[in-house]
Structure 1
Amino acid sequence: MSSADAVRGAALGLIAGVTGAHQALSDQLATGALVALAPADRARAQRLALTTLRQIARADAVLKPHLRRAPPADVQALLRLATVEMLDLGAAPHGVVGAAVALARAGGQRAEAFAGLVNAVLRKVAATDPARWSSLPPPSLPDWLRGRLMSAWGKRAVMAMEAAHLAGAPLDLTPKDGDAAALAARLGGVALATGSVRLVAAGQVSDLPGYAEGDWWVQDAAAALPARILAPGPGARVLDLCAAPGGKTLQLAATGAQVTALDISGPRMARVTENLARCGLAADCVVADALTWQPPAPFHAVLLDAPCSATGTIRRHPDLPFVRTPASLRDLFALQARLIDRALAFLAPGGRLVFATCSLLPDEGEAQVTAALARHPGLRPDPEALALPGLAPEWTSAEGGLRLRPDYWPEVGGMDGFYIAALRHSPA
């Protein structure tokens, strides 16, 4: 099997895992055909799977007239992959069709029986007018999520979010020294007003100048804001709750604060330790459950990026609509409330809490903070902390938080959806 066919085969395995087994891509990266690939091929397979998942609804619209009935799931995944390669990625039709037929024949007796269908259908797909592909609408969010977002933000906003999801996400970096202009000039990127550096065509991340030296780390511009809003001073005792994979820990450590990073997952915390070592930064890394852990002393500030539905990150994680369900949301809402209460208990009098979720749902943002303010009479919003460059005043929500959406900043490539609130705690 050629290198290109091995990449396609690994991408097919990822797609099938998402659409068939409802496994997140991140849970599949250490399994299957992907692990046998060289790093560059592994990255190509992941990109191919991500692009196909992002475009599945549009691929199905093109395939539907050429199929009398739905083929088996593995054959359908192959047709979708090949369609996206030809119509979205501009790959040569002859090579794509030939590779798809070869993969069908190598897929066992059942898949081999569909090799003729794969050949016939994809030849018709290859003749599709490019204008038809470009005119297809962005894929809609799942009904359960789309309905909730329509109620919260309205139809026009949801359609804009869906367009942002289809466009995907650029690569954002956080400079260790805080000099976004210098890093942007060095890498040929754009320095964003909030302090991040944006690259449109980055290639292999680990090959970029400054990666090995730890001069920067990958972090969406919106995800970089909670630590900038917390803004601890040198020597401040700071707790980063639910810290993995560690971008915010790195930011806090770079300020000179005394950082404790806590996460319940040992393997994920190992990534935090690795990132700290690469960047030459220090933090006390703790593997524990925040709901039962007891710190040795109170903290001046706590950053809580709570577990959530991650619906704000669909533009970079198009597998999420296939693996998330509404059934788990109620437990998440309850956990977030408990974590807020726990985080406040870790603060010294007058301490500050920044609460964040990468969610588009008000239940995981505005409603959580409104409820927390009612539960804790000594808690109050700190709107001045949200007054950072690049943030529009209209993004401030009624209870004093910051609401970010993927359709914001369309002229520079958007941002992840986030909710962030800065709170001060003076126990009554």
Structure 2
Amino acid sequence: MTGVRSAGARRRPGKSQSRPDQNDAKPGLAARQAAARLLSAVTESRASLDGLLDPAGGNPAFTALGDQDRLLVRAILLSALRHLRVIDATIDSLVETPLPDGARALRQVLRVAAAQILYLDVPDRAAVDLAVSQADSDPRNRRFSGLVNALLRRLAREKDELLPRIAASTPDFPDWFESRLSTSYAADAAAILKLLSEPPALDLTVKADPASWAEKLGGVVLPTGSVRIGRPDGPVSGLEGFDDGAWWVQDAAASLPAQLFSRLEGLEIADLCAAPGGKTAQLALAGARVTACDQSANRLERLCGNLERLGLEVETRLTRAQDLVAPDGFDGVLLDAPCSSTGTVRRHPDIPYTKTPEDITRLARVQRDLLDHAAGLVRGGGELVFSNCSLDPEEGEEMVAGFLADHPDWKIRPVDASRWPGLESAITEKGEVRTHPAMLAHEDPRLAGLDGFYAVVLTRR
């Protein structure tokens, strides 16, 4: 079937010239415009999606929207980024000639509409109509409004045939990301990539009695002790137990590092990169006297708010981890270091588009500097737990191997593989913890998997 004409596209015959302000009040248009603008910021400027969608300090096009429109924008962006290469391949299959090189704004309009048509429960007619209005309202795209209309109408008609065929032959993520995964996880790479395109479940760390909370919230207890539930229809804050501080949201893999200390009751523990505070809460709940550090005042304020809701008290310090001075040291130090976050792509699908291999190398150097400093904060006989949410060995196994080679007075204290029945495969031959998204299989992919995490316990010889 012939494709839709793109180069030199003209406006639809008989349609009067629209002015940008004629469409401004059209319901739903502002949300689509915001989605296109934010998608451009991620894919063209490598902006963090979390930062753009921050309710307080995010992009003004997003923060100006009402609650329902914000939810829609978030859903559009998550779907678009999880399936961006498939969406692009589908769009390109429907045009006779490639879209003009300079038509980046046009591609964002088409991506936003295609994400709704292919992956969201939005009426096709609404997605098409609003995309045409969006093109009409932008001088850069106005001459392409006829193309937008024809292409998206055809996509809506043929999506049931197009999507399976194109998805089967199109990689989900950028080549660099898939290549590094395949190198590091040869046997599991395909399963990991498949799970990364699925929205994640919601994991909760509970203060006590996980079985009871699993029953109350319709979830299951995981080997980590976390409670996993399906995504709620409304806000998380509306779930039973939130206001009472009975639990907090934390991926099951993220709950592992704080569990690695031999003992916590009554000990002085430093949490060096503490915000938003999930691991800090675990340490305090276990009876440790915690000093929680973070270099961001906003993030530290968020940590304090979370701990207040949970009824937990810790000492906080606004400081960079590498600037923390403690002449007497600590019984234990937790360093959950800043990283590429490639293990969290299920919930942060912008990462393959905002990070690069060079970022991974740079961040591994940052982690090594932090680890060197953290080692100097541990008292004799104490423990140093290092962790991050990267899938890349350069930021985990390889970086720690370099540390041990340069510090022969330190060694790995192996984690017992029977510690979490059902997760034995997460323990490496050296006794490190390495989780990835294809672990914890479930017939429903939305209830399967873990974030990718690396963690290790280090002690002096």
Give the alignment's TM-score, normalised by structure 2: 0.87
Aligned to 2:71: 43
User: Shift of residue 288 of structure 1?
Assistant: 0.9
Within 5 Å, give how 1:21-60 maps onto structure 2.
Answer: 21-29=45-53, 30-60=58-88
Q: Which amino acid aligns with 1:419?
A: Y
Structure-2 residue corresponding to 1:9:
33
Q: Residues 197-208 of structure 1: matches in 2 within 5 Å?
A: 197-203=227-233, 204-208=235-239
Aligned partners of 1:139, 1:166: CA distance in 2, in Å?
11
Q: What amino acid sits opposite 1:7 in the alignment?
A: A
Paired residue secondary structure (1:15)? helix
Tell me, yes or no, if structure 1 residue 87 matches structure 2 residue 87: no
Query: In the alignment, which residue of structure 2 is the partner of 1:119?
Result: 149
Q: How does 1:339-350 map to 2 (within 5 A)?
A: 339-350=370-381
Do the aligned partners of residues 385 and 290 (structure 1) sit closer, same or farther apart at CA in structure 2, a change above 3 Å counting? farther
Residues in 1 aligned to 2:250 and 2:262: alpha-carbon distance in whole angstroms: 17
- 2:5 is matched with which residue? none
Residues matched between the structures, number = 423
Contact 2:219 2:230 in 1 (8 A): yes
Partner of 2:198: 167
Q: Does 1:96 align with 2:124?
A: no
Q: Aligned residue for 2:286?
A: 255
Aligned pair partner of 1:69 in 94, 98, 101: 98
3-state secondary structure, aligned to 1:285: strand
Mark the runs of 5 or more structure 2 residues left unpaired by the alignment.
1-24
**Preserved CA contact (<8 Å) 2:417 2:424:** no
Given the superposition, is the C-alpha separation of residues 173 and 134 from structure 1 closer, same or farther in structure 2, using an over 3 Å criterion? farther
Matched, 1:324 2:355: yes
Cα distance in structure 2, aligned partners of 1:112 and 1:394: 55
Following superposition, the deviation at residue 14 of structure 1 comes to 1.8
**Aligned residue in 1 for 2:456:** 421
For residues 276 and 385 of structure 1, do their structure 2 counterparts lie closer, same or farther at Cα, with a shift above 3 Å needed?
farther
Alignment of 1:393-412 (within 5 A): 393-411=424-442, 412=447
Residue of structure 2 in register with 1:233 after alignment: 264
**Greater displacement, 325-334 / 286-295:** 325-334
Structure 1 partner of 2:10:
none
Q: Distance in 2 between matches of 1:196 and 1:44?
A: 29
Asked whether the equivalents of residues 413 and 458 of structure 2 are also in contact (C-alpha less than 8 Å), the reply is yes
Task: Give the direction of change, closer, same or farther, for the CA distance of 1:31–1:254 in structure 2 (3 Å limit).
Answer: same
Q: In structure 2, how many angstroms separate the alpha carbons of the residues matched to 1:197 and 1:40? A: 28
Q: What is the Cα deviation at residue 10 of structure 1?
A: 2.4
Answer whether contact 2:211 2:221 (CA < 8 A) is retained.
yes
Aligned-pair Cα RMSD in Å: 2.0
Deviation at 1:229, TM superposition (A): 1.9
SS of the aligned residue for 1:223 comes to helix
Q: After the TM superposition, which segments of 4 or more aligned residues of structure 1 sit over 6 Å from their partners?
A: none
The corresponding residue for 1:377 is 408
SS at match of 1:286: strand
What do the CA deviations read for 1:348-392 (whole angstroms, capped 9, x no partner)?
111011111111111111112222222233322222456422453
In the superposition, relative to structure 1, how do residues 231 and 128 fare at CA in structure 2: closer, same or farther (>3 Å)? farther
- Superposed displacement of residue 414, structure 1: 0.6
Contact 1:232 1:252 in 2 (8 A): no
Residue 323 of structure 2 aligns with which residue? 292
**Deviating more after overlay: 96-105 vs 327-336:** 327-336
Shift of 1:129: 4.3
1:139 and 2:171 correspond:
yes
Give the SS at the match of 1:100.
helix
TM-aligned CA deviation for residue 140 of structure 1: 3.7
CA distance in 2, matches of 1:285, 1:10: 37
Letter in 2 for 1:285: T
Partner of 2:241: 210
- Cα deviation code 1:321-354 (max 9, x no counterpart): 1110122333212221121121111111110111
Alignment partners' CA distance in 2, 1:343 and 1:125: 54
Decide whether aligned partners of structure 1 residues 38 and 104 sit closer, same or farther in structure 2, where only a CA change above 3 A counts. same
In the TM superposition, what are the counterparts of 1:297-312 in structure 2 within 5 Å?
297-312=328-343
For residue 52 of structure 1, what is the amino acid of its counterpart? Answer: A
The 1-side partners of 2:74 and 2:296 are apart by 24
The letter for the 2-side match of 1:121 is L
The range that moved more, 395-404 or 49-58, is: 395-404
Deviations along 1:101-157, one digit per CA (max 9) or x if unpaired, are 122222x22222221111110000001242542451373433333333322222x42
Contact 2:272–2:292 (CA under 8 A) maintained in structure 1: yes
Kindly report which structure 2 residues correspond to 1:146-165, keeping only aligned pairs within 5 A, or say none.
146-154=178-186, 156-165=187-196
Q: CA shift at 1:181, angstroms?
A: 1.4
Q: Which runs of 5+ in 1 are unaligned?
A: none
Cα distance change, pair 173–139 in 1 and its aligned pair in 2 (3 A): farther
1:267 correspondence with 2:291: no
C-alpha displacement at 1:286, in angstroms?
1.0
Max radius of gyration: which structure? 2
Q: Is the 8 A contact 1:105 1:115 kept in 2?
A: yes
CA contact (8 A) 2:172 2:197 kept: no
Identify if the C-alpha distance between structure 1 residues 198 and 401 changes in structure 2 by more than 3 Å, giving closer, same or farther: same
Contact 1:366 1:397 in 2 (8 A): no
Counterpart in 2 of 1:192?
222
1:41 CA drift (Å): 3.1
Percent sequence identity over aligned pairs: 38
Kept in 1: contact 2:221–2:227 (CA 8 A): yes
